[in-house]
Each structure stands twice: as C-alpha cells, then as structure tokens.
Amino acid sequence: MSDDYGKAAPLSYNKYLRVPDLLGLQECLSGPEHHDELLFITVHQAYELWFKQILHELDAAMVMMNEDRLPSAARTLRRVVEIEKLLVTQIHILETMTPINFLGFREQLNPASGFQSMQFREIEFASGHKPEGMLNEFRNDPFAYERLRKRYAAPSLNEVFFAVLRRRGFDAPDDDESLRDGERKRLYQKRGQAVLEVLTHFEERYEEFQLAEALLEHDEYFSLWRAHHIKMVERMVGAKRGTGGSEGIGYLQTTLSKKFFPELWEARTYLEVKHGAGGCPFSSAT
C-alpha cells in the first residue's frame, strides 16, 4: 500500500489562492455578453480587493499609533499610499473603453452604483470623514450597515493622530461636536498650532513629522483618485445621471473638497520663514 494513500493533495498555487473560485466571480449581465463588461467587472472587483487591503493596513497603523510605534505606523501608511497610486492608474484602464461601448451594457447596472461601495465608505470613515446621513444610505443592506455602523463609532485615523500628539505633550484637544461654533473654532486653532509646531521643529519631532506626512500623502492620493475618477466618468457619460439615481458628475464634484486631515493642510498656510532658521539648511556659513 502506498504511503500516500488517504493523504490530501499537496497545497498548490491554484488551491492556495482559490483561483477556480476567483475566476468564477466575473458574471456578465449583458445579453449577448458585451466584450467590455468583463473589463468593467474585473477592474471594480480588483478595487474592492485593494480596498480590503487598505482597511487592513489602516487598522494596523492605528494599533501602532496607539502603541506609540510611530515609525512602523508611518511605514504602513506609505504602503497604503503605494496601493492608492496603483488605484489611480487602474482608472486609465477603464478609459480604454469607448463611450458607446460602455453604454452598450451600462443599463444592465441599474440600480447598482459605485456610490454603494461599502469598503470605500469604510475607508472614508476610518480616515476621519464621517458625513451625517451616509449610514442611512445603507439601511437596506444589513451586512454593509453593520460594518459601517462599527466604523462610524470607532476612532478614526484623525482622532488617533491627535491623541498621539497629546500623549507627546502637544496641546491638541480632541474634537467635541457639542461645543458652540466659537469654542470649536478655538479647538481647531489649537490643533492647527500643534501641527505647525511639528512642521517647524521637524528634526526634533521627526517621528511625529514623518507620521503627519504619511497621513497627508494618504489624503492626497485618495483625493487624486477622486479627481481621476470624476474625469473618467465625465469622459464616458458626460453629465448623465448615475446608475443609482445620483446626480452623476454633479455629485462627484462635490466630493473633491473633502479632506481627511484638514489641520495638516491648513497649517502650511501659517508656516513662515521666521518659524525656522531660514535659507538652505545645508549651505556653508559665510
């Protein structure tokens, strides 16, 4: 009798990655099947896989920040940025479709819409953008609603970052929505001043500076993805309404001003030469 009798087949590449299952997930709805629908599905499924990885990394970064492992958190966030750079380039793959070919299967997508991407909203919530009412958009999808409800209630990267600064001696109060407008404005001013100190004394506060820059890059490349996505949509369908009933381009353009870390951007407005030594730090003294 063979020693291999009764043993399971050894692990293979296809088995480990479940390639047969993966290849069965691209189900086109157009009939007859439109050539470009497979591309559309593949790109969007790839987005969702990368969104899952981004959330995995953002969660890890927040754990590291809570443990004051700032270099590790910054490195993890830069991995997120590299993924986001890839996501921007994926948009250009969709642009290889002609507008008329996209219209050939677009009606099959109704009433589904990219607006309904649960993981995209999770990334927004995890990063610090939690618009009121967004949870209600998922009330008819119990699975998505529960995940988003937990994300909404959990601390965001923005909140965890300012908690790090407080632990390290900065006057960077936590946000408080119960405050009156004037009091809340002063709160934001203090947070902005804390960021300004990090930017000014970046050599002495190098860990905080590197973390702040990594967060800013995440914000920047997510915004770049929004901008490229808008132009791709406009290139394909112009000013048509979205498949889910949204205003299409009109709605998407309102998202361009969203920032996860507004204080990190605004602090640069108040940065002046007087805050530092001035001139080139590597020039020889004369």
Report how far residue 121's alpha carbon sits from residue 118's, in angstroms, rounded to the nearest whole number. 5
In a domain, 27, yes or no: no
Q: pLDDT under 70 in the chain at which residues?
A: 1-6, 111-112, 176-180, 241-251, 273-286
In a domain, 248, yes or no: yes
Q: What total number of domains does the chain contain?
A: 1
Per-residue pLDDT, 179: 62
In a domain, 191, yes or no: yes
Q: Using one digit for the tens of pLDDT, what is the confidence trace for 217-256?
A: 999 999 999 999 889 888 888 877 666 656 666 667 777 7
Per-residue pLDDT, 286: 45
DSSP structure class, residue 111: T
Q: Give the up-direction half-sphere exposure of residue 224: CA atoms within 13 A in the CB hemisphere.
A: 17
In a domain, 8, yes or no: no
- What is the residue range of 238's domain? 33-105+116-271
C-alpha distances in Å from residue 60, one per residue of 50, 73, 80, 161, 164: 15, 8, 11, 13, 15
pTM above 0.85, yes or no: yes
Report cis status (omega within 30 of 0) of the bond before 111: yes
In a domain, 22, yes or no: no
Q: Using one digit for the tens of pLDDT, what is the confidence trace for 111-125?
A: 667 778 999 999 999
- Indicate which CATH number applies to the domain containing 73: 1.20.58.480
In a domain, 7, yes or no: no
In a domain, 82, yes or no: yes
